Amino acid sequence: RWFTHFYVVSVIWNGFLLLCLFRAEFLGESLPSWIQDMHHALGRDSQSKDMGNEHFSALLVLLLLWLHSCRRLAECLWTSVFSSGVIHIMQYCFGLGYYIAVGSTVLCQVPTNVRNGKKLSVQICWYHIIGVMMYVWASLHQHRCLAILANLRKSASGKVVSLSHSVPFGDWFESVSCPHYFAELLIYVSMAITLGIHNVTWWCVVLYVLFNQALAAVLCHEFYQKNFSSYPKHRKAFIPLVF
């Protein structure tokens, strides 16, 4: 349940960044000076080539990231049923920093100097369509899988009757032990596609999510195998048919 804090921070912070970028791109306003200072420190304002399509890609990805945080916050508040598990203080602090850094990473993909005083020229490309479609597809499955996990602890009337662990079935659970982690990876891959596929910085973010979610999935998979003797042997831990 402490993950709820991560999504509260993400909704507020990334919503603020989204608003700033929206006003800069569509209304021609300048970004706040401290954001421009951050770009200057990272060397992003040294670019002078006007890549308006990349600006729209960054805006779209920041929107997707914010929507993802909103959905996860809503699921933490009204869908998931949490046990009494705890989180390490270092993991908690890192999680808060991560959701601040990931939105800033998107914002830093385009320089500030070519935005100021110019309105965005929207040009939808094929990778925007594919990325958004993949994002919606993965998000729907992640929500379904989280609902399946929550329903294991509820009665038919929706009342929470247990906080113990049970074996989930249905949707992507038929293939992997942690499909919600796999869906998380696909969501970040969809954002990489939306950014135009070639963005190395965001692929580094995807790589981090891959290792982070894979580790959690392996630990969860081993827990299922250890505690449930009849656990389906054909299920993989993280990626269907692969890992």
Reported as a pLDDT band with limits 50, 70 and 90, residue 107 is: confident
Task: Read off the tokens for 53.
Answer: 């399509």
> What is the pLDDT, as a whole number, of residue 42?
63
Residue 66: pLDDT over 90: yes
Mean pLDDT of 56-65: 94
**Whole-angstrom Cα distance, residue 122 to residue 212?**
34
> What is the pLDDT, as a whole number, of residue 177?
98
**Whole-angstrom Cα distance, residue 105 to residue 31?**
15
> What is the pLDDT, as a whole number, of residue 38?
74
Mean pLDDT of 206-211: 97
Residue 92: pLDDT over 60: yes
What is the per-residue pLDDT across 5-56, written as a single tens digit (0 to 9) for each?
999 999 999 999 999 888 887 777 777 777 777 777 766 654 445 455 778 8
Higher pLDDT, 109 or 91: 91
Residue 116: pLDDT over 50: no
Counting other chains too, the contacts that 179-182 makes at CB distance below 8 Å and 24 or more residues apart are 179/141, 179/142, 179/145, 180/142, 180/145, 180/146, 180/149, 181/213, 181/214, 181/216, 181/217, 181/220, 181/238, 182/213, 182/217, 182/238, 182/239, 182/240
Reported as a pLDDT band with limits 50, 70 and 90, residue 233 is: very high
Higher pLDDT, 71 or 117: 71
| Domain range annotation of the chain | 1-123, 124-242
